[in-house]
Amino acid sequence: MAGRGDPPEGTPEGFPGGGEEEYRSVVFDESFVRAARLQEFSAQERLGGHVEAVRSRPAWGPGKRPRHGALLLVLLIAMAFASVVYLGARTSYQPLPDQRAEPLLSSVTPLAPQGAVPGGKPADLYARSPAAQFHSGAAGISLPPAKRTAHFSESQVIAALSTVKDYLVQSSLDPEVLAGDAVRPVRLLVDPDQLEQFDQSMVSPADDGRHAATGWLVRFDPAEVRPADTEVRVRGTMRVAEVTPDVLEVTSDHTFVYALRPAGADATADASLFTVRRELAFRFDPEDLRMHRAEVLTSRVQAGPQACTAETADALHPLSAGLRATPARPSVTDPYATGSRVTGAVCGVLAPSAQPQPSSPTP
Which of 43-57, 97-111, 129-143, 338-352 is least confident? 43-57
Whether residue 287 sits in one domain with residue 156: yes
User: What local confidence, expressed as pLDDT, does residue 53 receive?
Assistant: 55
pLDDT score for 241: 97
- Indicate whether 235 belongs to any domain: yes
State mean pLDDT over 79-99.
60
* pLDDT the model gives residue 271: 97
Q: Is the pLDDT of residue 129 over 90?
A: yes
Question: Which pLDDT value is given to residue 86?
Answer: 66
Where residue 195 falls among pLDDT bands split at 50, 70, 90?
very high
Q: Which is more confident, 54 or 338? A: 338
Q: Within this chain, do residues 47 and 114 fall inside the same structural domain, yes or no?
A: no
Most confident of 59-63, 161-165, 322-326: 161-165
Task: Say whether pLDDT at 305 is over 80.
Answer: yes
User: In the beta sheet, which residues pair with residue 256?
Assistant: 234, 276
Identity of the highest mean pLDDT range in 1-5, 49-53, 61-65, 260-264: 260-264
Confidence of residue 74 (pLDDT cuts 50, 70, 90): confident
Q: How many domains does the chain have?
A: 2
Alpha-carbon span 295 to 288, nearest angstrom: 8
Asked whether residue 38 falls in the same domain as residue 133, the answer is: no
Q: Are residues 46 and 155 in the same domain?
A: no
Q: Quick one: pLDDT at residue 275?
A: 98
16 domain residue, yes or no:
no
**Does residue 218 sit within a domain?**
yes
Do 158 and 254 belong together in one domain?
yes
Whether 54 and 40 have beta carbons less than 8 Å apart is answered as yes
- Residue 300 falls inside a structural domain: yes
Q: Is residue 100 situated within a structural domain?
A: no
- What is residue 329's predicted lDDT score, i.e. its pLDDT? 61
Q: Quote the domain boundaries for residue 224.
A: 105-326+344-354
Tens of pLDDT along 63-72? 555 566 677 7
51/172 same-domain check: no
Q: Which residues are within 8 A (CB) of 347 and not within 5 positions of it... i.e. 6 or more apart?
A: 109, 110, 111, 112, 308, 328
Confidence of residue 96 (pLDDT cuts 50, 70, 90): very low
35 and 130 fall within a common domain? no
- The pLDDT score that the predictor gives to residue 93 is 42
- Residues 330-353: what's their mean pLDDT? 72
166 within domain boundaries:
yes
* pLDDT tens digits for range 107-127: 999 999 999 999 999 999 999
Note the pTM of the prediction, 2 decimals: 0.72
Instruction: Give the rounded percent of residues in the chain with a pLDDT score beyond 90.
Output: 62
Residues 139 and 214 in one domain: yes
pLDDT of residue 45: 58
Let me know if residue 250 belongs to a domain.
yes
Q: What is the pLDDT of residue 316?
A: 98
> Do the Cβ atoms of 300 and 279 come closer than 8 Å?
yes
Check: CB of residue 113 under 8 Å from CB of residue 305: yes
The yes-or-no verdict on residue 340 having pLDDT over 90 is no
In a domain, residue 205? The reply is: yes
In this structure, of 35-49, 103-117, 307-321, the range with the lowest mean pLDDT score is 35-49
Clarify whether residues 112 and 37 are in a common domain: no
Output the 3-class SS for the chain: CCCCCCCCCCCCCCCCCHHHHHCCCCCCCHHHHHHCCEEECCHHHHHCCCCCCEEECCCCCCCCCCHHHHHHHHHHHHHHHHHHHHHHHHHHCCCCCCCCCCCCEEEEEEEECCCCCCCECHHHHHHCCHHHHCEEHHHHCCCCCCCCCCCCCHHHHHHHHHHHHHHHHHHHCCHHHHCCCCCHHHHCCECHHHHHHHHHHHHCCCCCCCCCHHHHCCCECCCCEEECCCCCEEEEEEEEEEEECCEEEEEEEEEEEEEEEECCCCCCCCEEEEEEEEEEEEEECHHHHHHCCEEEEEEEEEEECCCCCCCCCCCECCCCCCCCCCCCCCCCCCCCCCCCCCCCCCCEECCHHHCCCCCCCCC
Residues 48 and 129 both lie in one domain: no
What digits encode the pLDDT tens for the residues 204-249?
A: 999 999 999 999 999 999 999 999 998 999 999 999 999 999 999 9
